[in-house]
Chains A and B, each alone.
Chain A
Amino acid sequence: MNIKIKENAFEVRNLNLWYGKHKALEDITIDIVKNAITAIIGPSGCGKSTFLRCLNRMNDLIDGIRIEGKVYFEGKNIYDEGTDVVLLRKRVGMIFQQPNPFPMSIYDNVAFGPRLHGIRDRNRLDEIVKDSLEKASLWKEVKNKLNESALSLSGGQQQRLAIARVLAVEPEVILMDEPCSALDPASTQRIEDLMVELKANYTIVIVTHNMQQAARVSDFTAFLLAEENEPAKLIEYGETGQIFTNPKDIRTENYITGRFG
C-alpha cells in the first residue's frame, strides 16, 4: 500500500492583524501543505499580501503593526519570542510583484544571499550561482553575461533572477506575491511552468488575483474576502479543483464566476 500522508509546512491558528487601529485580518486558521502550491485569491485590497507576509514575518518591518495568534512553521510558532527572524526568512523566501534586482551584476545578485550567510569560497559561489540560475531556468540566457548589470535583463528575466536569488539561499518555502502581474503572457507562462517544476522540492504559496493562474498551477486554493469595512476572513479553503468546480460558499462562487471583486 502506498499511503502518502500530507505534511503541513505551516499551521496558522487564529491569526489576527492590525495596522494601527485598522484591523486587516481576522481569525485566520489554515494549514499550508508541504511541497504543494497553495494559491491565495481574493479581491484586491482584501489582505492577501498582508497574510502572506505573516508567514516570514516581513510585516515586522512595518511600524504600528500588531499580530495575534500563532503561525507554526515546521511545528514551531514563528511569533514566539526566541525566533531567529533572519533564519526564518532564509528558510521562507519571498518573491515580490516587482522583481527589484539589486543594481549589481547578475552574478552578485544571485550570490548576494549566500554571501550574507557567510559563503566566501569563489568555487562554491560559482556552483551555487549556476545551480540556482539553472533551477530558475535562466542559466542558458545569462551564462555568458554573468558580470553584466541585472538591470539590463527584461522584466520576465528579472523575475526569474529574483527566483534564482531566493533559491540560492536554499529556502524550504517560497512565498510569491503576484509574481506575474507585471509580466507579459509568455513570461508568465515560463514562471508558471517553473513553479510546477519547483513544487517537488519546495512549498509554494502564491498570491494572485488571476483566477486562471490559480486554477492552472495550484493544488490548494484559499479565498480571502474583506466584506465592507470588515477585516479579511478566510471564506473557503480546499483543493483547487473543488474550489473552482464546486465551491461551498456562495461568496466564493460569486467571486470565481466574476460576479464581484
Chain B
Amino acid sequence: MYELRKALNNIFLTLTWIASVSVILILLFIIAYITYKGAPVVNLKFITTWPQGYEAKGGIWPTIITTFYLTIFSAAIVTPIAVGGAIYLTEYSKPFSRFSRYVRFAADTLSSVPSIVYGIFGFAFFVIYLGFGWSMLSGSLTLALMILPLILRSTEEAILDVPYGYKEASYGLGATKWQTISRVVLRTAFPRILTGVILGMGRAFGETAAVMLTAGMALNIPISVFDGGRNMSSHLFLLATEGISLDAAFGTAFLLLVIILFFNVGAKRIARRVGK
C-alpha cells in the first residue's frame, strides 16, 4: 500500500514536472522563432518611419505612437475607477455582503469575455451611439472596460492583504477612516496595485480586436482624443492577413513581444520589491 502510494506520488511528480518544463520550452520556442524572424527586420528606421507603399516597406512609427497612446490613456481612465471600486468593496461595503459578491462575480465573468465582445460593444456605444467615432477616446474607453475587472480584482486583493494590525495601529493613533485608507492601506498596497495596473496595461498594449473596432485602422499619429489610429497588433493583423509583408509583420510581432515582456518583468520586479 505504502509502496503504491509512493509510486503514484512519483508518477504525478514527474508528470507535473514535464508539464511545467513544456510550458517553459513552448514559451522559449515562440520567443526564439519570433526573434529569428522578426529581429533582423527591426532597426531604428523600422521604429521611426512611416509604412511606405502598398508593400509597407518603411517602418511602423504611427502604430507605435497609437499603441502607447491607447495604453496610457486607458490606464489613466481605469486606474482611479478600479482603485476607488476596490476601496469601496474592501473598506466600505461589508466584504461578504451580497453586493460585494455580485460585483466580484461580475468582474470575474467580465474578465473572461472575449475581447471582440468588448470591441463590438465599444463600437456600438462609444463610436456610434455617443458619436466619438473611431478615436483614441473610443478605443481607450473600450480598453479601460476590458481591463477594469483585472485591475479591480488585483487591487482588491492587494488591499485585503494589508495586515489588520496596520489599520488598528493607525486608528489607535487617532486616524480617521479616510486617513487610514490613504496613508496606510493604499500606501502599503501600492506596489501590488501598480503591478496589477502594469499587467492590465500589458493586455491593453497587445489588444487587437477591441481596438480595431473602436480606434479604427487608419495609419495616423493621433494628437487629439478624437483622432483615430491603428495600433501595432492591428497593423500586424492586417499585414499578415492581407499578405502585405510578412517581414514587417514579424518585425512588429517582435517589437510587441519585447515590450510586453518588459511589462511583465516590470510587474514582477515591483511585486518582488514588496516581498522584502
**Residue count of chain A within 8 Å CB distance of chain B:** 25
A89 and B177 CA atoms in complex are apart in Å by: 13
**Of all chain B residues, which has the CB nearest A162?**
B169
- Number of B residues near A (Cβ < 8 Å) is 19
A104 to B165, CA, bound (A): 15
Residue B172 CB within 8 A of the other chain: yes
Give the total number of A-B pairs whose CB atoms are below 8 A apart: 59
Give CA–CA (A86, B172) in the complex, Å.
Answer: 9
Specify the chain B residue showing the minimal Cβ separation from A103: B188
Kindly state the separation between the CA atoms of A242 and B188 in the bound complex, as whole angstroms: 47
> Is residue A66 within 8 Å, beta carbon to beta carbon, of the partner chain?
no
Q: Which of A33-41, A111-119, A229-237 contacts B (4 or more CB under 8 A)?
A: A111-119
Mark contacts of A68-101 with chain B using CB atoms, 8 A cut-off: 1 yes-contact digit, 0 otherwise: 0000000000000000001111100110101010
A117 and B184 in contact, given A63-B94, A96-B165, A98-B165 (Cβ under 8 angstroms): no
Partner of B166, one of A56, A100, A116: A100
Q: Is A165 an interface residue (CB 8 A)?
A: yes
Residues of B within 8 A of A94 (CB): 168, 172
Task: Evaluate contact between A89 and B188: CB separation under 8 angstroms.
Answer: no
- Is B94 touching A169 in the complex (CB atoms < 8 A)? no
Tell me the residues in window 157-194 of chain B with beta carbons closer than 8 Å to chain A beta carbons. Answer: 163, 165-176, 179, 183-184, 187-188
21 contacts between A and B (CB under 8 A): A58-B171, A61-B168, A61-B171, A89-B171, A89-B172, A90-B173, A90-B174, A94-B168, A94-B172, A96-B165, A100-B163, A100-B165, A102-B169, A102-B184, A104-B187, A116-B179, A116-B183, A117-B174, A165-B169, A166-B173, A169-B174
Known: A104-B187, A116-B179. 8 other contacts (CB 8 A): A58-B168, A94-B168, A100-B166, A102-B169, A102-B184, A102-B188, A116-B173, A116-B183
Q: Which are the 7 A-B pairs with shortest beta-carbon distances?
A: A90-B174, A100-B165, A94-B172, A113-B173, A89-B174, A100-B169, A86-B174
